[in-house]
Amino acid sequence: MDFENILIDKEGYIAIITIDRPKKLNALNRITISELHKAFAQLENDREIRVIILTGSGEKAFVAGADISEFAGFSPAQGEQLASEGQELLFNFVENLSTPVIAAINGFALGGGLELALSCHFRIASDNAKLGLPEVSLGVIPGYGGTQRLPQLAGRGKAMEMIVTGAMIDAKEAERYHLVNRVVPVEELLDLSIKIAGRIANNSPVAISYAIKAVNAGFKNNALGFATEIESFGACFGTEDFREGTTAFLEKRKAKFTGTR
Ligand code: COA
């Protein structure tokens, strides 16, 4: 299958998916989300593939978030639909795959980009990586599971700090807070990811699929959290602050929030 915004390489039992919109720092637009869904579904059903590595094109970004230019004019209902469809097609979909997915974070992992990495089964980062959930600086909240998955990994206090400040952390701090398992120089990132993937590929795919199911089952009692996130994300789209935040980003200026709902 030919894709516009992603590349797939296969080496033995390992598939590498590269999100390939480097000029837009690999931001997730609608097409990219749909292509990623198709690629993950295809690889999940490919008996030759036992591990998937997900990374971004270029040295600057893994993914710099959802594509702001695509949703800036959305209504609350469209915002809610964006979050729920995205969660179903990509974020929950990846988390629940029986093929393990390693995020190889090679630069900025912001907003939807960090949320995508958090949906993967674990994460390795390059030493130039920067991670954050900057949504509140745009007048919106994380809508792809970030309010649920970040506290699971980093703890509630650190997650809350990251979400309400919108600030980025570097790779070392991300390692300290368990967002990433290892940090390596950027030129070693793929090699290490492939090495770890190789170890996984020697094990029983059936046992691995049951292990993922069991680990995930322990975190399934937050359905209300995900539903509240989707509803609150949609609500932001009806606010003056959201219009100001997204317009300011697109006009490359700092937002001036008034707190108007
Ligand atoms: N959505 C849409 N376009 C994006 C994007 C996003 N999330 N992130 C980056 N881009 C685009 C920029 O608009 C720019 O496009 P242009 O060259 O056509 O103007 C291009 O990618 C390069 O980004 P730029 O901002 O010029 O790079 P930088 O090195 O100065 O800054 C970032 C890098 C990551 C700090 C900055 O791009 C940024 O803040 N991005 C948005 C992050 C965000 O808020 N994500 C959450 C979205 S919900």
In whole angstroms, what is the distance from residue 254 CA to residue 52 CA?
38
Model pLDDT, residue 260: 83
- Beta bridge mates, 169: 131
pLDDT, tens only, 179-215: 999 999 999 999 999 999 999 999 999 999 999 999 9
Which of the following is catalytic: 135, 175, 188, 240?
135
| Residue 150 CA to ligand 1 centre (angstroms) | 22
CB 135 near ligand 1, within 6 Å? yes
In whole angstroms, what is the distance from residue 20 CA to residue 82 CA?
21
| Residue 25 CA to ligand 1 centre (angstroms) | 6
pLDDT, tens only, 209-239: 999 999 999 999 899 999 999 999 999 999 9
Q: Which CATH number fits domain 6-201: 3.30.70.3040, 3.90.400.10, 3.90.1150.10, 3.90.226.10?
A: 3.90.226.10
Domain ranges of the chain: 6-201
Model pLDDT, residue 104: 98
The string of DSSP letters for 85-147 reads HHIIIIIHHHHT-SS-EEEEE-SEEETHHHHHHHHSSEEEEETT-EEE-GGGGGT----SSHH
Is residue 175 flagged as an active site residue? Answer: no
| Residue 14 CA to ligand 1 centre (angstroms) | 30
Model pLDDT, residue 170: 98
Q: Ligand 1 pocket test: which of 20, 25, 108, 254 has the largest number of ligand atoms within 8 Å of its C-beta?
A: 25
Model pLDDT, residue 1: 73
Whole-number CA gyration radius for the chain? 18
Residue 86 near residue 144, CB atoms below 8 Å: yes
CB 115 near ligand 1, within 6 Å? no
Model pLDDT, residue 6: 98
Residue ranges, the chain, pLDDT below 70: none
| Residue 167 CA to ligand 1 centre (angstroms) | 15
Question: Residue with the nearest Cα to atom 45 of ligand 1?
Answer: 65
Token representation of residue 112: 């939807």
Is residue 135 flagged as an active site residue? Answer: yes
CB 33 near ligand 1, within 6 Å? no
All residues at 6 or more sequence positions from 161 whose CB lies less than 8 Å from its CB, including other chains: 167
CB 68 near ligand 1, within 6 Å? yes
CA of 134, closest atom in ligand 1: 44
Measured CA to CA in angstroms, residue 48 lies from 19, 209, 223 at distances of 22, 15, 33
Token representation of residue 161: 């700090």
Question: Comparing C-alpha atoms, which of 213, 233, 217 is closest to residue 225?
Answer: 233
| Residue 214 CA to ligand 1 centre (angstroms) | 37
Model pLDDT, residue 261: 80
Model pLDDT, residue 11: 94
Which of the following is catalytic: 35, 80, 95, 115?
115
CA of 108, closest atom in ligand 1: 34
